Amino acid sequence: MHKKKPTEAITLSPFLKWAGGKRWFADRWLQLIPNNFNRYIEPFVGSGAVYFSLLPKAAILSDLNADLINTYQAVRDDPAGVERLLQEHDKNHDKVYYYQTRAKKPKSSLERAAWLIYLNRTCWNGLYRVNQRNEFNVPIGTKTHVILPNDDFLSVSAALQKTQLFVQDFEETIDLAGKGDFIFVDPPYTVKHNLNGFLKYNDKMFSWCDQIRLRDSVVDAVRRGAMVLITNANHQSIRDLYDGIGKYTILKRASVLAASSTHRSQTEELVIRTWIGG
């Protein structure tokens, strides 16, 4: 059984930046996580900020983004190889090299992992976006460093030895949860009337129907004895969707989507917890 670490315990920093990532949650709100649980399960893993802060003894991480999961697998299996390729990207990085590299997605899993990390660290705002042909199309950003001071791929690899990694729909992952497991659910923030109820999720659309399907999957997991924490938009349609399922907490944070810090504002997010107690 995993027990929550004291606040001074060693954690890892995510090696990726991800839109909607939960570094801010991991930095300030881990007290909302249950004190004890069996497995940690995350069906929309993204940068894995909460996972790397908790470093659970057993975990299931999944996402529909096959390149993302391939990157986790490559770092787990060959951290030195990933770092070696990143050093090559770091040595060659400039505007011409960025666009040449972006246009040529490697076939080998190791090279594709380093390719994704390189683009993630040098593209605009760490955004992952693909076109209708599933081609990465984010322009170059202002960051010039590919190798970061806090990189620790060996420790990330060691942590990931204790995880199962899947490319699959969230429902398949949540269905794996049993009594005493903890599920951290951080879906795309679709609300009922936002863009007619659709948001881009990797190369697919995440619809309001998916939000309903997610709610039903969460309810089934709770009935099996799992503990679930959901983060979502603080919107009436979301509060109505989860009415009667758990306890609501509204968290305020700074929005980080604007290019300039002067244009960033406070935003609210809704946290729903399905268990009582610590």
Number of domains in the chain: 2
243 and 130 in a single domain? The answer is no
Domain boundary among 155, 188, 223: 155
Would residue 163 count as lying in a domain? no
pLDDT of residue 198: 43
Would residue 199 count as lying in a domain? yes
CA distance 174 to 90: 38
CA distance 162 to 165: 10
Would residue 71 count as lying in a domain? yes
140 and 179 in a single domain? The answer is no
pTM for this structure? Answer: 0.91
88 and 212 in a single domain? The answer is no
- CATH classification of the domain holding 134: 1.10.1020.10
- CATH classification of the domain holding 191: 3.40.50.150
213 and 238 in a single domain? The answer is yes
Domain of residue 197: give its range: 2-9+16-64+168-273
44 and 81 in a single domain? The answer is no
Q: Please name the residues in contact with 98: beta carbons below 8 A apart, sequence gap of 6 or more.
A: 119, 122, 123, 140
CA distance 225 to 182: 9
263-271 long-range contacts, Cβ below 8 Å, gap at least 24? 268/234, 269/231, 269/232, 269/233, 269/234, 270/231, 270/232, 270/233, 270/234, 270/235, 270/238, 270/239, 271/29, 271/32, 271/229, 271/230, 271/231
pLDDT tens, position by position, for the chain (278 residues)? 887 666 555 689 999 999 888 999 999 999 999 999 999 999 999 999 999 999 999 999 999 999 999 999 999 999 999 999 999 999 999 999 999 999 999 999 999 999 999 999 999 998 898 888 889 999 999 999 999 999 999 999 999 998 999 999 999 999 999 999 999 999 988 777 554 444 554 556 788 889 999 999 999 999 999 999 999 999 999 999 999 999 999 998 876 554 454 545 678 999 999 998 77
pLDDT of residue 196: 45
